[in-house]
């Protein structure tokens, strides 16, 4: 494993589809990262090892995503003094509310930054990590600025299309 800036952990292989959203943004921004599956409950020693190995390899920020009890972000935070961003993943029983509450209800002194439940959270976790890194790394700051300009341009393009073709046709075309 070479030098990394962000270590991404998920609690189960069923979380990989959401984690892929995080990884896509990290890759777009050129941020070196790792991705591991490790369960806070089933493989706690593996979680500890990944955190220590990631720190030894340069990790400056951790992203941990999990569903249900979502203990993984808190366990990661207990093992490092680096920033930890928790992504609550949607579950079948409570739609991710259980995971969200687990991520945000950390005891005093062991904070975890939280993002939205699901795909939006997975995307925002990568951006949030980039913003943390941008304080120290000007090249990442520039990439985040470019990323935001692309978001802005996308909204402008959508509005132009709406103005050109009208709401009915716009909605119809976007259903496909």
Q: Is residue 42 part of a domain?
A: yes
Residue 120 forms part of a structural domain: yes
pLDDT 10s digits, 91-109: 888 989 999 999 999 999 9
Region 156-174: what's the mean pLDDT?
A: 95
Judge whether residue 30 has pLDDT over 70. yes
Question: What value does the mean pLDDT take over residues 74-84?
Answer: 97
Which helix (H) or strand (E) covers residue 6, if one does? strand 6-10
pLDDT at 136: 96
Using pLDDT thresholds of 50, 70 and 90, give the confidence band for residue 2.
low
- In percent, the amount of the chain with pLDDT more than 90 equals 91
Q: Where do the DSSP E strands lie in 96-148?
A: 113-114
CA-nearest of 4, 29, 45, 8 to 122 is: 8
Q: Residue 61 and residue 66: Cα distance in Å, rounded?
A: 17
How confident is the model over 54-74, as a mean pLDDT? 95
Q: How far apart are CA 13 and CA 113, in angstroms?
A: 23
- What's the pLDDT at 1? 45
Give yes or no for a contact between 37 and 11, defined as CB atoms under 8 angstroms apart: yes
Please count the structural domains in the chain. Answer: 2
Structural domain of 53: 6-136
Q: Rounded to an integer, what distance in angstroms lies between the CA atom of residue 95 and that of residue 121?
A: 14
Instruction: Give the CATH number, domain containing residue 37.
Output: 3.40.50.1970
């Amino acid at each position: 494993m070479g030098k990394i800036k962000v270590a991404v952990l998920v609690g189960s292989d069923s979380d990989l589809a959401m984690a892929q959203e995080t990884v896509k943004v990290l890759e777009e921004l050129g941020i070196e990262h790792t991705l591991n599956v490790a369960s806070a409950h089933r493989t706690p020693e593996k979680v500890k090892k990944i955190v220590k190995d990631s720190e030894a390899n340069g990790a400056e920020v951790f992203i941990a995503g999990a569903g249900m009890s979502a203990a993984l972000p808190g366990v990661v935070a207990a093992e490092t003094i680096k920033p930890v961003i928790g992504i609550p993943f949607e579950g079948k029983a409570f739609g991710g509310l259980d995971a969200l509450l687990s991520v945000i209800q950390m005891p005093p002194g062991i904070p975890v930054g939280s993002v939205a439940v699901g795909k939006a959270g997975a995307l925002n976790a990568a951006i949030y990590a980039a913003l943390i890194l941008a304080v120290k790394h000007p090249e990442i700051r520039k990439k985040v600025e470019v990323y935001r300009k692309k978001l802005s341009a996308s909204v402008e393009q959508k509005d132009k299309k709406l103005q050109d073709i009208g709401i009915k046709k716009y909605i119809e075309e976007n259903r496909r």
